[in-house]
Amino acid sequence: DGGITQSPKYLFRKEGQNVTLSCEQNLNHDAMYWYRQDPGQGLRLIYYSQIVNDFQKGDIAEGYSVSREKKESFPLTVTSAQKNPTAFYLCASSIDSRLSTDTQYFGPGTRLTVL
Amino acid sequence: ILNVEQSPQSLHVQEGDSTNFTCSFPSSNFYALHWYRWETAKSPEALFVMTLNGDEKKKGRISATLNTKEGYSYLYIKGSQPEDSATYLCAFKDFNKFYFGSGTKLNVKP
């Protein structure tokens, strides 16, 4: 089955701890993205990667870090510098982010709660 | 940061009703407009990709129109069914990034 997996589904962490959210895809897509959703708001872009070993900041990158060492994987680390990390995090991938018709495929999401 | 707005925020209709909702986006430097459907406990799935002014797309009972000059897109559902209940997201594509609206949550009562 081709798709995007995110783990875990629910994550609890104590304030001040870094936490890494996993995102893996076997669709052979070049581009990958991380979004954050808060109640009443649209998906906001944290980081995106157009190709392996390259990534760019999105609109709300402060307090987050990513890596793209493999095409299939794009982990997101929520650092202690992120002031309000409790949110729902969605990972997505697409074939080629430069194409207007490029459609995103989403994972099931991770709900992070910082206590 | 580009502003993409969707209205209404939520909608409750009876089975069989037809309905529509709006996505507004910047009318300058248009690249593409995407519609996604997000059912509860599932992942968002692509519905339509719209790239040209005047585009009309259709998939079964769902259709969408695009006006890039005035910066809006409409999504129509004809004869709503309970399985249409979901949040409908629009996303303005700015070259290699998407800007999402906050969605319209549709609830169709049997």
B91 Cα to chain A: minimum distance (Å): 9
Q: What does the alpha-carbon distance between residue A115 and residue A12 come to, in Å, rounded to a whole number? A: 7
In chain B, whose CA is at the least distance from the CA of A98?
B96
Q: Check CB contact of B5 with chain A, cutoff 8 Å.
A: no
Residue B60 pLDDT class (50, 70, 90 cuts) = very high
Residue B37 pLDDT class (50, 70, 90 cuts) = very high
User: Under an 8 A CB cutoff, do B102 and A90 touch?
Assistant: no
User: Under an 8 A CB cutoff, do B44 and A31 touch?
Assistant: no
Q: What percent of chain B has pLDDT over 90?
A: 85
Residue A5, token pair as written in the block: 């997996």
Phi, psi (deg, nearest 5) at residue A102: -65, 120
Residue B106 near residue B77 (C-beta atoms within 8 A):
yes
Q: What is the pLDDT of residue A10?
A: 95
Give me the mean pLDDT over the A2-29 stretch: 93
Q: What is the pLDDT of residue B28?
A: 85
Q: How many CA atoms lie within 13 A of B15 on its CB side?
A: 5
User: Under an 8 A CB cutoff, do B1 and A59 touch?
Assistant: yes
- Helix (H, G, I), strand (E, B), or coil: what is residue B83? helix
B35 Cα to chain A: minimum distance (Å): 10
Does residue A107 surpass a pLDDT of 80?
yes
User: Under an 8 A CB cutoff, do A44 and B51 touch?
Assistant: no
